[in-house]
Structure 1
Amino acid sequence: MLAATLAFAGCHASDAATPAPTTTPRAASGDLLVGDSAAAMPGPGTCKLGSRDGQPLPDPHCTPGAVNPAVRQDTIKDTICRTGWTKTVRPPTSKTSAMKAASARSYDLAPADKGEYDHLVSLELGGAPDDPRNLWVEPGKIPNPKDAVENKLHAAVCSGLIQLAPAQKAIAANWVTAFDAVGLRVAGGKVCLRDKPTSCVTSHRGDEDGN
C-alpha cells in the first residue's frame, strides 16, 4: 500500500504533456499490458476519475492495468502465494513519490486531496510494480474498500478456487464488480464459488497489504 496525503509543489497547467500510454505489448496469458517501468505518464489533466456504486474507478485510457510477467499461473506458489514476496518487488517511495505527484496532475487532483497511490492490479495479484499504467491515486479513506477485494481475490487464486488471469482482468476492468466477473460470492468472511457454494476459502489480510 502506497498511502499518503497528496502534497506536491510546482503543479502548473503548463506542464508539458507526455504521450498517452502505449497499449502494447500484451501479456501472453491475456489482454493486460506487460509491465514497463519506462511507460509514459499521461499528461496533466488528461485523465478523469469514474465511479461505480459510489466507489472511485481509474480512467481506463490512462490506467488500464499492467502485469508483472514473472507472475504466471505456473509461478504463483513461488511469487504471490509466498509470504513476503510482495516486499521484494515493491518500488521504493523515493520513486513512487515523484510518480504519485505526476499521476495526481494527470487526474487533475487538488494538492489537499487525500488518497492512496494504488496498484490497479495489486502486487498480490501479480500487478506491475512501477508501471504508470498500473498506478493511480485512489481518493478516499485509507484503508479503502478495494483493499478487501484484492485480499479476497488473492485468497481465491492461491487456494485454487479461480485462475490468476481472470482475477487480474476482473480487477483491472472494474474492481467494484470483480467478484461477479470471476464467479465468486463473499459472505461471512468466506469466499466461495457462486456455482459451487461449498467450494470456499477463508479470506485473510493480504500479504503485507500487497496493493
Structure 2
Amino acid sequence: MLGSAGALNLHAPLLPDPALTPGDALTSDPAVICTPGYTHTVRNVPQALKEPIYRAYGITSREKGEYEIDHLISLELGGSNSARNLWPESFKTQPLNAHVKDTLENTLHDLACSGRLTFVQAQQAIAQNW
C-alpha cells in the first residue's frame, strides 16, 4: 500500500492479528441487535482507546482516511467496544479492506436477523475468518 510520500506502508494489515484482536461480543440477542438504531446506542470508541490500538499494530503515522479503528465483530453483529475487538482496518488494501468487510457485516446481520443464522454463528465466523 502506498503512503502519502509514495512509500510502501508495510504495516497495513489485511486481517487482524488474532493475538491482538481475538474478538469480543457484547450480546448475541437478536431482539436487541435487530432493533433499528441499536448500534448508535452502543458505539463508543474514544480516541484515547484508538491510539494504543494503532501502536500495538505498529502504525505510528497515517493519512486521513487511510484507516479506521474497526470492530472485528461488528456492532451490528453484537460486537463490543473493548480493545480485544478493535483493530486498524485499511480502506486502501487489496483485496480486503474496510469496504469489503462492511458488505460482509451487512450480509451476516441480514442473515441473522432473518433467522437463517444465529448471531453466535455470525460472530464466530467473522472473528475466525472474515
**TM-score bracket for the superposition, by shorter chain length:** 0.7 to 0.9
The partner residue of 1:163 within 112, 118, 122 is 118
1:148 maps onto 2:103 in alignment: yes
Counterpart Cα distance in 2 of 1:64 and 1:165 = 15
Mapping of residues 109-128 of structure 1, within 5 Å: 109-113=59-63, 114-128=66-80
- Root-mean-square deviation (CA, aligned residues, Å) is 1.8
Please show how residues 178-193 of structure 1 align to structure 2 within 5 Å: none
Letter in 1 for 2:16: P
Q: 1:49, 1:58 within 8 Å by CA — same for their partners in 2?
A: no
Secondary structure of 2:33's counterpart equals coil
User: What is the 5 A alignment of 1:1-211?
Assistant: 56-68=14-26, 71-72=27-28, 75-77=29-31, 79-91=32-44, 95=46, 97-113=47-63, 114-128=66-80, 130-141=81-92, 144-175=99-130
TM-score after normalising by structure 2: 0.80
Percent identity over paired residues: 44
In the alignment of these two chains, the number of paired residues is 114
| TM-score in terms of structure 1 length | 0.51
Q: Within 1, Cα distance between the matches of 2:62 and 2:82?
A: 25
Gap runs ≥5 in structure 1 = 1-47, 51-55, 176-211
Counterpart CA distance in 2 for 1:110 and 1:88 is 31
**Alpha-carbon deviation of 1:168?**
0.3
Structure label with greater radius of gyration: 1
Can you give the 5+ residue segments of structure 2 that lack an aligned partner in the other structure? 1-10
